[in-house]
Each structure stands twice: as structure tokens, then as C-alpha cells.
Amino acid sequence: MHDIRAIRDNPEAFDAALARRGEAAMSQAVLSLDAARRAKIAAAETAKAEQNKASKEVGAAKGRGDEAEFERLRALVSDKKAEVAAMNAEAQELDAKLTDMLARIPNNPAEDVPQGDDENDNVEVKSWGDKPAFDFKPVEHYEIKGVKPGMDFETAAKTSGARFVMLKGAVARVHRALAQFMIDTHVDENGLTEYNTPVLVNNAAMYGTDKLPKFGGDSFVAASMASRARLSKMALEDYSKSEPEILDKLSDASLADIVEEAYERADTQEDYWLIPTSEVTLTYSIAGDTLEERSLPMRMTAHTLCFRSEAGSAGRDTAGMLRQHQFEKVEMVSITHPDESDAEQQRMVTCAEGILEKLGVPYRTVILCTGDMGFGARRTYDIEAWVPGQDCYREISSVSTTGDFQARRMNARFKPEGGGKPQFVHTLNGSGLAVGRCLIAVLENGQQADGSVKLPEALAPYLGGKTTLTAEGVLALG
């Protein structure tokens, strides 16, 4: 969320920041709505003052026996009261429109973010590791002989549809080992606090972390039975208007009445969203809080299931488990003092890179250009793992700083130790890492000519000392 005062003070800078993202100027529309809202508030305050003045004069007129003046003033008080109520309602409506407009405008990019249109304009800032040299043509993860028994797309499609996978046996164990290894590293070496969070969240949590209102289509909503009943009732009512004879054929208790009764009796009338990552739960955990400065930075991590609709990805990465509706991720979230957020972002990047280095997976780190950066980010670094089967780098982590963009939406602040007015915190988030994509990188980089896979030594403690996935799909000692 943007600071309206900053837009008032420097609308040109606001529009220039939007232009860097390829967005149209918005300051005039924002300030026009803001001016109308403020004018309506001022008018309501003036009318309220007139109402209060007339209220005082009513008693005086009554006291001196001036019935005509008393009746005039009483009518004036009533009129002003109605006028104030109407103006306050209009001001609230304008405020809601302004808030919604601001909520749909992306964050301003940091000054050092490179200008560009898309991923082709991202800038590499680091590369690590030697790409493996094979004496055979490497294949993609799902084509590796030893992987095939443990990566079942057909059964997953039977139970759930496209973009799901069912892991089993040794492959499932390696996947679990990767997640445990990541969490242990972040907790034991990187100083993060582990959380186990819900995967169902309410609208406020999605809104506070800038996933709503603009990107609801990217996530899955778990509608309650009550909500389904409400939607069904609305549909029936609309249908009955165009096809009234249908309802005439029903019994005395119409379908609309039955559905409405089900809605009223439902256990819950709450809708939930399935989290796209635990960025939502971890970040929103401080919503509405005023933290002590000494508690900063807060460094959190969680391993959760994640869910994304992959809207707009039709036809992309349909083979394998690179792009799934359900996946697992180890997330990192930091809450910091504004002066420390840039340094914290670099620290988080190093934490994510360290996981790949321990696993021996080659990678590169790029800073995203203005045209490729996410809606809420001020700056984003993507870490891309080398995947030999595709002969390219693929994103395995994004580490972003949002500045105070999310904190304003959540009203999350801290009290300066030296006193003074509470300030908004800065929030940062990053993958540490995407577990499924890390599995892909480990399998493809470790594949052998006979269809087996050499696994990283770092995983040995989590695999009973075994570091080989055989061509038959079982774990064995190296």
C-alpha cells in the first residue's frame, strides 16, 4: 500500500516510479479521489458544527418561550443530523474507493533495480559451481530410470487432475530429506526461528500480504459449505427470474428456501484461501502489532504445503513436476527496521544460496528488472539452479524486500527505542528453497549413465547414510 501523503507531496516521483514498471500515471486519479474524500469530510465536519450550534440554541429558545424559533431550530438540527450522516457515508464510500485504488497499484522499485521489460532484461550478479560434464545425454528428472518408480503422475492425475504428482518410495524420502535439511540449516546455522503455520488463511491475511485484491486468480479458495449455499441461492434466484415456471413445479419448500436454510445452519460462514507460500502466514503474524525495536529483526522459517492455480501458465512446463498446483517450500521471512532491510535482503540471499552450495548444485543469482518484478516487491533477487535435462537455469528461489508496502496494509509498526512516533516495519520474504524444484536439480545434476543418481553427501544423515538412488529406484550406500 502506498502512502497517500507521499503521493500528495511528490506526484511526479510517484508517476515516474510507475513508469519504470511500464504502468500508466496514476497520481491524478488518486489525488482527485483523495481531494473529493477530504472535501466530503470537511463538509461533514462543517455541518456537524452547525448541528452542534443549533442544538445549543434549541434549549435557549425553549427557555425563553419562543416556540416558533424552537421548532425551526429543532427541524434544523434534524436536517443537519441527516446531512452529516449522508456526508459521512459518502466520505466512507470515497475512502473505500481510494483504498481499493491504492491496493491495486504496485510497489515502487528501488533505485538500483535495472530497467527492463521482461526476464530477458534481468542482470546476473553471481554464478557458482561447475556444471556437470556428462558422457551421455542428460535427461529430465522424470525420465531418469531410477526416478520413474517413485514419481507417479498418472495416479496423481486420477485423484486430482493435471499438475499434480504422487511421490513414493525412495524419491519421496529424498524429497522429505531435502526439506528437513533446509529447515535444519536455517535454524541451526542461519539463526531463523522455525514455525509450523496453517495453510488455510482468511481474506485479511491475503490482503495484508498483497495477494488480494488483484491476484486472487493466482490462488485457490476453499469455500465453506455456507458460501456454496449462498452462491447457489443467488444462482437459483437469478434463474427463477428468467424461468419462473421451474420454481412453480417445486414442492412447498422451494430449492431457494432449502439452500438458504442450509446456509443459516452451516457450521461456518468463513471462506479460506490456500496459501501460495507461508510468506502469507509468517508475515501476517505481526498484523496490527506495534513491536519493540529491540525485537527486530525477526527471522522466521517454515516448511509448508503451498498451492497455486498457475493462472496464465497454460501449456508451460506441462511435463514433470516443475510447475505444480501443490508443492512444498521452505520459506524465509524477516521483519526489520527500515534502515536494515537492504542488508537483510543480502543476508537472506546468502542463506538461500548456501543451501544449494551445500548440495553441490550449480546456480546463478540475478536481480530482476522492473518489468519482471513482482507486484509487492521493491527489489527481487532470483536464484536459478542449473538443470541439465533442460540445459538451462530455472528459478528455485526469489528473495524480495517490500519495504513498508505490506506493513502499511497490515498496520504493522515498531516503537523506536529512543522514543517518538511508531514507524512501519519493513518486511522481506524468500524461498529457502522450493523443495520440489530442488529435488529436480539434485536428481538431474546427479544422474548417471546407468539411470542411477548420485545424491549429495549433505543428505546422508537424513537418508540413513545412503547417497545413491539406484537404477531400480531404491536407496543404497554410495
Indicate the average pLDDT of the chain: 92
Averaged over 188-207, what is the pLDDT? Answer: 97
What's the predicted TM-score (pTM) here?
Answer: 0.89
Check residue 261 and give its pLDDT: 58
Q: What is the pLDDT of residue 358?
A: 98
- pLDDT above 70 as % of the chain: 89
Q: What is the pLDDT of residue 318?
A: 79
Where residue 317 falls among pLDDT bands split at 50, 70, 90?
confident
Q: What is the pLDDT of residue 79?
A: 92
Mean of the pLDDT values across residues 294-306?
98
The angle subtended at Cα 371 by Cα 215 and Cα 13, nearest 5°, is 95
Residue 40 three-state SS = helix
Torsion angles phi and psi, residue 412, rounded to 5:
-110, 120
Sheet-wide strand order for 379-387: 123-128, 363-367, 379-387, 392-401, 426-434, 326-336, 298-307, 193-195
Dist CA 275 CA 285 (whole Å): 14
Q: pLDDT tier at 271 (50, 70, 90 boundaries)?
A: confident
For position 242, what pLDDT does the model report? 54
Residue 391 has pLDDT above 60, yes or no: yes
Contacts of residue 230, Cβ cutoff 8 Å, sequence gap at least 6: 263
Model confidence pLDDT, tens digit, residues 63-99: 888 888 888 888 998 999 999 999 999 999 999 999 9
pLDDT at 414 over 70: yes
- pLDDT tens across 12-34, in order? 999 999 999 999 999 999 999 99
CA of residue 296 relative to chain centroid, distance: 22
Residue 60 clears pLDDT 90, i.e. is over it: no
Per-residue model confidence as pLDDT tens digits over 102-125? 999 999 999 999 999 999 999 999
